[in-house]
């Protein structure tokens, strides 16, 4: 059972985890609402939350399509919580969910990737509470944002088993009527301060906020503020005019993969010396920007060495078996020489981001796209993307937002002005919410406005195709050739947009498939370890010899189901000596 605290960026002391065994039912004829299954005492099956019913760890392990499903469990709210407001929190439920408490409808939520909460206080009896969740997840709806979840019966090629229903942790917490709703932290290393925007649930006459920032055991700053507005903004001096602490690369007070310094935050809300709410958080002083075709981290030029990470596990699918699995993936990637990951077509669990913050690992946060376009899709993706940015804003590890990948959901970008406008809207929507990170409009090709020119190229041929290897190296050799010689039939930029002085990163390449299954899928296949190492060396040599690019993202970290492009197997075993991979990635060979 997943037992770790699910929301480390916004943590309280009083909480009750609801992971574990729930009652469960399939509702294939969609009759549960009409027959009021939320009033039933139990359901016929058992499921292990937060694992989707398609996964082994759920205890059901049924990969067939069931668009309507129900969850139910009993819970006793701690007696000491009486008199407080009780909230139920869901990490993520795919896709549309309706929540009932003791037979009463509490609220609903649309979106499979974002967290949400409901105040359930008025529906409690403080005996044994009955919590019911009804989920609709259309298995074959191609306009629903779904990432790599396949809309056909069985996974194939780059498409994987679906994840339906609850797939991140569920928990209760109690708060006072007056409590902290959100904390938004924006660092500025150039000025040496961090801006805090604190949102309160409501106001009363004598509310005060204590804001404490610590580094280890040392108090960096403490500020007491009278709350005369539900939205309180305060600027906190972090560097205290010690400029070198902020700007010394790899040292000092700035967060980076080489030096993951985190500041602890405590926000206390009180009224006449009575503490009403205490929330713990953290942040990092980190800056990412582009200038004259280069990428800078904390005002120092920085080369991105990323690995594509699908975030799938054999037994849990999109849900990691435990927080140790997040740690293991990050540590293995760092051991292989990578300084970050592009989380591919998955909005990752906040616990992964927490460990990336702690361990020092860059993350490109990417939306799970749909396969097709219509007006409903536009509303779905924009609303969910707004919630994603808000939820994950404080994580220093996230340096880039990727709302779109390879024209997924917008297949007619080249000629369709409507879809081009949608792509532009996503780019500027992201910019309107977050000026602290880079934004890629459409990772791979057919970009409009974008901060990085992100190119996918698997055009390196087979292991024995020497001419193709030479041609591939030539394409990577200059900015002009990278733009003029795309490896697909899609142009790098949509008509009317151009490279300018944007930095270029090869954000997908390699995909060397070394597998152990005759049905395995890969971009370029080898059948032994020697050839695996040889071909890895060929494609990385071409990358390292290029003066035109500012970094790379190799496909991919692990095998996933039938796709065996991983540097690691599905169960996270390196396919060759990990030090050899590290030497290739770091160009030490």
Question: What pLDDT digit, counting tens, does each position of 75-134 carry?
Answer: 999 999 999 999 999 999 999 999 999 999 999 999 999 999 999 999 999 999 999 999
At which of 158, 175, 192 does a domain end? 175
DSSP annotation string for 381-422: HHHHHHHHHHHHTT-TTEEEEE--BTTTT-TTTTT-HHHHHH
* 73, 97 Cβ separation under 8 angstroms: no
Three-state SS string over 141-158 comes to CCCCCCCCECCCCCCECC
Higher pLDDT, 245 or 418: 418
Do 313 and 410 fall within a single domain?
Answer: yes
CA distance 113 to 110: 9
DSSP helix/strand/coil, 447:
strand
Give me the CATH number covering residue 390.
Answer: 3.20.20.80
* Cα-trace Rg, the chain: 24
Position 384 in a domain: yes
What's the whole-number average pLDDT of the chain? 93
- Of the candidates 41, 50, 585, the residue with the CA atom closest to the CA atom of residue 317: 50
Do 112 and 99 fall within a single domain?
Answer: yes
DSSP label of 303: -
DSSP label of 232: E
Position 6 in a domain: no
Give the tens place of pLDDT for each residue, 450-499: 999 999 999 888 888 888 898 899 999 999 999 987 667 789 999 999 99
Do 456 and 564 fall within a single domain?
Answer: yes
Q: Residue 424 phi/psi, 5° resolution?
A: -60, -40
Do 422 and 531 fall within a single domain?
Answer: yes
Do 142 and 164 fall within a single domain?
Answer: yes
Position 249 in a domain: yes
Q: Which residue has the tokens 């939520």?
A: 109
CA distance 35 to 33: 5
- The pLDDT-based confidence of 247 (bands split at 50, 70, 90) is very low
Dig out the tokens for 311 from the structure: 């975030």
Do 366 and 253 fall within a single domain?
Answer: no
Dig out the tokens for 106 from the structure: 């509490």
- The pLDDT-based confidence of 213 (bands split at 50, 70, 90) is very high
Per the structure, the count of domains in the chain is: 3
Do 105 and 235 fall within a single domain?
Answer: no
Give me the CATH number covering residue 237.
Answer: 2.60.40.10
- The pLDDT-based confidence of 347 (bands split at 50, 70, 90) is very high
Do 154 and 258 fall within a single domain?
Answer: no
- At 525 the pLDDT is 85
DSSP annotation string for 529-565: HHHHHHHHHHHHHHHHT-SS-SEEEEB-SB-BTTB--
- At 5 the pLDDT is 86
Report the predicted TM-score, pTM, of the whole model to 2 decimal places.
Answer: 0.95
- The pLDDT-based confidence of 242 (bands split at 50, 70, 90) is low
Dig out the tokens for 161 from the structure: 């088993």
* 571, 559 Cβ separation under 8 angstroms: no
Give me the CATH number covering residue 104.
Answer: 2.60.120.260
By 3-state DSSP, what share of the chain in percent is helix, strand and coil, each rounded to 5?
Answer: 20, 35, 45
* 187, 283 Cβ separation under 8 angstroms: yes
Do 334 and 404 fall within a single domain?
Answer: yes
Give the tens place of pLDDT for each residue, 59-77: 999 999 999 999 999 999 9
CA distance 83 to 79: 9
At which of 248, 283, 318 does a domain end? 283
Domain membership of residue 237 as a residue range: 180-283
Q: Residue 475 phi/psi, 5° resolution?
A: -60, -40
* 318, 346 Cβ separation under 8 angstroms: yes
* 357, 282 Cβ separation under 8 angstroms: yes
Percent of the chain with pLDDT over 70: 97
Position 553 in a domain: yes
Give the tens place of pLDDT for each residue, 301-343: 999 999 999 999 999 999 999 999 999 999 999 999 999 999 9
Q: Hey, which residues does 129 pair with through a beta bridge?
A: 75
- At 152 the pLDDT is 87
Do 99 and 203 fall within a single domain?
Answer: no
Average pLDDT over residues 532-536: 93
Average pLDDT over residues 25-43: 97
Position 388 in a domain: yes
Position 25 in a domain: yes
Q: Is the pLDDT of residue 251 over 60?
A: no
Position 198 in a domain: yes
CA within 13 Å, CB half, 274? 7
Q: Hey, which residues does 551 pair with through a beta bridge?
A: 304
At which of 175, 195, 220 does a domain end? 175
* 149, 344 Cβ separation under 8 angstroms: no
DSSP annotation string for 328-373: HHHHHHHHTT--EEEETT----HHHHHHHHHHT-EEEEE----SS-
Give whichever of 153-157, 269-273, 505-509 has the largest mean pLDDT.
505-509
- At 246 the pLDDT is 46
Do 186 and 171 fall within a single domain?
Answer: no
- At 119 the pLDDT is 97
Dig out the tokens for 347 from the structure: 């909005």
- The pLDDT-based confidence of 157 (bands split at 50, 70, 90) is confident
Do 29 and 132 fall within a single domain?
Answer: yes
Higher pLDDT, 402 or 515: 402
Position 248 in a domain: yes
Q: Is the pLDDT of residue 250 over 50?
A: no
CA distance 551 to 557: 17
For helices 375-392 and 417-433, angle between their N-to-C axes, nearest 10 degrees: 20
CA distance 542 to 476: 7
């Amino acid at each position: 059972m997943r037992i770790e605290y699910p929301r480390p960026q916004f943590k309280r002391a009083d909480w009750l985890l609801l992971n574990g065994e729930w009652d469960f039912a399939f509702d294939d004829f969609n009759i549960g609402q009409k027959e009021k299954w939320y009033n039933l005492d139990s359901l016929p099956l058992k499921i292990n939350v937060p694992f989707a019913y398609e996964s082994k760890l759920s205890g059901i392990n049924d990969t067939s399509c069931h668009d309507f499903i129900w969850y139910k469990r009993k819970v006793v709210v701690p007696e000491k919580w009486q008199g407080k407001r009780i909230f139920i929190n869901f990490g993520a439920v795919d896709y549309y969910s309706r929540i009932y408490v003791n037979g009463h409808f509490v609220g609903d939520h649309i979106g499979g990737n974002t967290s949400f909460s409901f105040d359930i206080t008025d529906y409690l009896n403080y005996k044994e509470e009955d919590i019911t969740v009804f989920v609709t997840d259309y298995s074959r709806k191609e306009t629903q944002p779904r990432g790599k979840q396949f809309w056909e019966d069985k996974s194939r090629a780059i498409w994987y088993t679906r994840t339906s229903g609850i797939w991140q942790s569920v928990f209760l917490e109690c708060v006072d009527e007056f409590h902290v709703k959100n904390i938004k932290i924006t660092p500025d290393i150039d000025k040496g301060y961090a801006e805090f925007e604190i949102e309160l649930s409501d106001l009363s006459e004598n509310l005060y906020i204590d804001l404490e920032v610590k580094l280890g055991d040392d108090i960096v700053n403490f500020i007491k503020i009278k709350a005369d507005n539900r939205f309180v903004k305060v600027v906190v001096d972090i560097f205290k005019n010690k400029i070198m602490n902020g700007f010394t690369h790899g040292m000092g007070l700035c967060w980076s993969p080489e030096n993951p310094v985190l500041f602890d935050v405590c926000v206390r809300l009180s009224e006449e010396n009575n503490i009403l709410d205490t929330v713990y958080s953290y942040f990092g002083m980190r800056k990412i920007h582009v200038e004259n075709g280069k990428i800078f981290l904390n005002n120092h030029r920085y080369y991105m060495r990323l690995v594509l990470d699908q975030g799938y596990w054999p037994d849990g699918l999109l849900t990691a078996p435990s927080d140790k699995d997040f740690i293991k993936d990050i540590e293995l990637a760092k051991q292989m020489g990578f300084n970050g990951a592009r989380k591919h077509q998955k909005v990752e669990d906040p616990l992964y981001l927490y460990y990336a913050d702690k361990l020092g690992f860059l993350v490109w946060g990417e939306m799970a796209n749909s396969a097709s376009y219509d007006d409903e899709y536009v509303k779905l993706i924009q609303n969910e993307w707004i919630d994603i940015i808000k939820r994950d804003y404080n994580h220093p590890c996230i340096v880039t937002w990727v709302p779109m990948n390879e024209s997924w959901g917008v297949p007619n970008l080249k000629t369709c002005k409507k879809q081009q406008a949608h792509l532009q809207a996503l780019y500027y929507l992201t910019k309107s919410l977050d000026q602290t990170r880079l934004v890629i409009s459409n990772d791979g090709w057919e970009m409009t406005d974008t901060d990085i020119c992100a190119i996918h190229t698997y055009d390196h041929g087979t292991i024995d195709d020497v001419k193709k290897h030479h041609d591939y190296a030539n394409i990577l050799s200059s900015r002009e050739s990278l733009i003029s010689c795309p490896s697909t039939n899609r142009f790098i930029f949509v008509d009317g947009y151009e490279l300018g002085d944007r930095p270029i990163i090869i954000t997908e390449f390699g995909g060397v498939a070394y597998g152990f299954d005759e049905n395995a899928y890969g971009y370029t296949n080898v059948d032994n370890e020697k050839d695996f190492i040889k071909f890895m060396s060929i494609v990385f040599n071409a990358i390292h010899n290029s003066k035109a690019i500012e970094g790379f993202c190799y496909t991919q970290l692990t095998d996933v189901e039938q796709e065996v492009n991983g540097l690691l197997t599905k169960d996270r075993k390196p396919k060759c000596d990990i030090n050899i991979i590290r030497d290739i990635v770091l160009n030490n060979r």
